[in-house]
Chains A and B, each alone.
Chain A
Amino acid sequence: MKLRAIIVDDEELARQILREYLNKAGEVEIVAECTNGFEAVKAVGEQRPDLLFLDIQMPKLDGFEVLELIDPPLAVIFVTAYDQYALKAFDAAAVDYLLKPFSTERLGKALDRARALLSDPQPRALQASDLAAAARPPGQTLERVVVRDGTKVHIIPIAKLDYVEAQDDYIALHSEKKQYLKQQTISSIEAQLDPARFARVHRSYIVNLERIARIEPYTKDSRVAVLQDGSQLAVSRSGYTRLKELLGENI
């Protein structure tokens, strides 16, 4: 089986050596080369490759964001020079990676592994957002969320995120009166957001604290948070306790 591969790296020489090695190895057809994250998401959508060689630090979108935005399943091999946290995350998620500079032998092993993965009838689902979170240096929280809508990629800076709503396996991100759907659990995004700026006020809601206009009583036991744009979010009892801790008694 000839593997169809896409190379994503912003450095020409880095793409060149991969191209050279892959041509030599045979059995791999390079269907596209991309120099940044946007191109990569687009190319993966159009070409549906089997294999993706993905650099981490790139213009526009980094390697992890690209992974969050493309449809699995396909084999991904990260190619990076040095990144201690990312390597730990790769090991934990059993994602293959090549460390620059690498040998043809090491690339051969990665290709074998990719073939084995692709021929597996029940491929494991790779939770891209969890991988991205694990690769982040400790203490660093999310600064933006990336969402794909068909072929369009939206980047939502955290400051513009009003609230997050759980919808089954998806989350709806509300920002500037628009809503973006993303396949991720609400607990997983909760763990990535800065706890000083966002609070889980309900099983289904995470709210940006700066957007809360007031809290009103709803029933005997529950309350509702009214946001500056008028949206109303249910606040559970434990959510209210959390809000009181974060905002003080006078809410």
Chain B
Amino acid sequence: MHPVFRNTATLSAYLGLWAILAAAIAALMRVPDDLTWSQALSISVPLCMLYAFVCLTPWYICRGLPLGTARVTRLLINQLASAILACTLWIGAARLLAFAMDIGPKLNPAVPQLVVLGLLLYLMSVALHYALLAVEASREAAVQTRDAELRALKSQINPHFLFNCLNSISALTSSDPVRARDMCVLLSDFLRKTLGLGERESISWREEIELARTYLEVEQVRFGSRLRVEMEVDDACADCQVPPLVLQPLIENAIKHGIATMVEGGTIRLEGRIENGRLAVRVENSFDPEAPSPRRHGLGLRNVRSRLATRFGDAAHLHLAAEHDRFSAEMVFPCHKATT
């Protein structure tokens, strides 16, 4: 449905504008051949009310022929043809109204102006509709970006992780109070670091890696010798600016769908380096190909993908591969350094 109909206030404002226009047109028609005000108005008001709705049709035509993607000639021909059609309707209706009031000939002098006016009004409506569509598109894009960010923030602290940690701490308080305390400190560290990230658009790769390290240290307490970690991160990437917690879902998946599925556990390998001015990150982990199907699958990765796409467009990609019992996620995106 056309946005004008979305609420009565916009619809009445729109029709109000046309009423003013109707008055102006009536004044125009009166001049050459002495139509009375009432005669002129009884033609122009119904005419304008009709045309008000005719001028809404570009909404559908413009959506079918978006600027930039539709061919220019096709676009021009279509829009001009519909303008001429609309204008014919406009003049025809004016003549019909005049004829019905037995003042047909008296309208004739005003017809050329009415033709020009009809065409102009319609084309103006086309232009306004394109503007309206552009505004709606950008608003939608903004909503999508915000949604993606919100989902990212929500997934920051995985409840499963949090409660399992608390359970480990609970177990350690009697058997190994020192380790229990260490784990409290580690978990607090991790939570504090992630809590502040909501307002920040970018953080340095150094901070991101630090977060992943803290997270893995916490998980190390849970999984003990089942979790082995190898890190090979090039210092050259440390200052790259990255979307906060873009690495986190990959690490979480490596634990959840990798290490946690294996009785003997396995290795998570994290690599980061600069390749052709882009930051290339690789997370590799062992997994059991015959493990129970993961519950709640793929949300984290989808999130990473959409955040990379909104931030970097085609310049970024996330590639996943499973080979035998090794799973790898590779993420590449431009390395922007902070400007300060």
A residues with CB within 8 A of B: 10-14, 16-17, 20, 35-37, 57-62, 65, 81-83, 85, 99-101, 136-137, 140, 143-144, 155
Contact = CB atoms under 8 A, between A and B. Distances in A.
Given A59-B262, A59-B291, A16 B171 contact: yes
Contact of B293 (A17, A36, A143): A143
B164 A60 contact: no
B292 A65 contact: yes
Contacts of B291: 59-60
Given A11-B164, A81-B164, A100-B167, A16 B263 contact: no
Interface string B167-178: 111111011000
A11 B222 contact: yes
18 contacts: A11-B168, A14-B168, A14-B171, A16-B175, A20-B171, A35-B263, A57-B260, A59-B262, A60-B263, A62-B292, A81-B159, A81-B167, A82-B159, A82-B162, A85-B295, A100-B164, A101-B166, A144-B292
B270 to A, nearest CB: 22
Given A81-B159, A82-B160, 16 more contacts: A11-B168, A13-B168, A13-B171, A13-B222, A14-B167, A16-B175, A59-B260, A62-B292, A81-B164, A82-B159, A99-B163, A100-B163, A100-B164, A100-B170, A140-B293, A143-B293
Best-buried of B159, B222, B260, B263 by chain A (most CB within 10 Å) = B263
A100 B168 CA distance: 9
B170 A17 contact: yes
Contacts of A100: 163-164, 166-167, 170
A59 B261 contact: yes
B66 interface: no
A93 B260 CA distance: 27
Contact of A136 (B222, B290, B295): B295
Best-buried of B167, B224, B256 by chain A (most CB within 10 Å) = B167
Interface of B: 159-160, 162-164, 166-172, 174-175, 221-224, 256, 260-263, 288, 290-293, 295-296
A234 to B, nearest CB: 31
Q: Chain A's interface: helix, strand, loop or mixed, by majority?
A: loop
B260 A10 contact: yes
Contacts of B221: 13
Contacts of B169: 101
A69 B83 CA distance: 73
A142 to B, nearest CB: 8
Contact of B263 (A10, A12, A83, A155): A10
Best-buried of A58, A99, A155 by chain B (most CB within 10 Å) = A58
Q: Which 8 A-B pairs have the closest CB atoms?
A: A17-B171, A100-B167, A81-B163, A143-B293, A101-B170, A62-B292, A13-B171, A101-B167
A35 B260 CA distance: 11
Contacts of B288: 59-60
Best-buried of A17, A65, A99 by chain B (most CB within 10 Å) = A17
Contacts of B260: 10, 57, 59
B163 A82 contact: yes
Best-buried of A13, A14, A58, A59 by chain B (most CB within 10 Å) = A13
B186 to A, nearest CB: 14
B160 A12 contact: no
Nearest to A135: B295
Contacts of B163: 81-82, 99-101
B294 to A, nearest CB: 9
A233 B16 CA distance: 71
Nearest to B226: A10
Contacts of B162: 82
Nearest to B172: A13
A10 B261 CA distance: 9
A173 to B, nearest CB: 17
Contacts of B167: 13-14, 17, 81, 100-101
Best-buried of B159, B166, B292 by chain A (most CB within 10 Å) = B292
Contacts of B223: 11
A20 B160 contact: no
A136 to B, nearest CB: 7
